[in-house]
Amino acid sequence: MSASDESRTFLISVAAELAGMHAQTLRTYDRLGLVSPRRSSGGGRRYSQRDVELLREVQRLSQDEGVNLAGIKRIIQLTNQVEALQSRLRELADQVEGLRVNQRRDVAVVPKSTAVVVWKPRR
């Protein structure tokens, strides 16, 4: 999803139509904390494309999978937690790779020598 998709928002009536739901259902889901849209300065709900996709997923879980709203809320929480952990893991992997690159730069390369050293054992 591009940044422009995230910046575009929909009024509740448009989001409800896009998600195939009634606007009152969106208000209920917001009240329950399932899908929490941003708010305008006047307090109106503004749904992003991601919110609309989440609404569709809530509907799918409820209707197709028979999951109750409490279960859906927990699934959303766990999904968000997994996404946050995956993001943090990517950050840490990038840091490790950066350290490896810097370490390779810091290692001095000793050129091979063609000098001959004569060694005489002591008696």
Rg value, the chain, Cα: 28
Q: Which CATH architecture has domain 3-103?
A: Orthogonal Bundle (1.10)
State yes or no: pLDDT of 4 exceeds 60.
no
Residue ranges per structural domain of the chain: 3-103
How far is 103 from 98, CA to CA, in rounded Å? Answer: 9
* pLDDT at 110 (0 to 100): 66
Q: What is the mean pLDDT of residues 8-22?
A: 96
* pLDDT at 46 (0 to 100): 97
Which amino acid would we find at residue 27? R
How far is 106 from 101, CA to CA, in rounded Å? Answer: 9
Q: What is the mean pLDDT of residues 62-83?
A: 96
Residue pLDDT, tens place only, 84-102: 999 999 999 999 999 888 8
Q: Which of 10-14, 28-32, 41-45, 99-103 has the lowest mean pLDDT?
A: 99-103
State yes or no: pLDDT of 118 exceeds 80.
no
* pLDDT at 2 (0 to 100): 55
Helices (H), 1-123: 3-7, 12-19, 23-32, 49-63, 69-106
**pLDDT band at residue 36 under the 50/70/90 scheme:** very high
How far is 72 from 81, CA to CA, in rounded Å? Answer: 14
* pLDDT at 5 (0 to 100): 57
The answer for 75, left when phi > 0, alpha when psi is -120 to 50, beta otherwise, is alpha
* pLDDT at 66 (0 to 100): 96
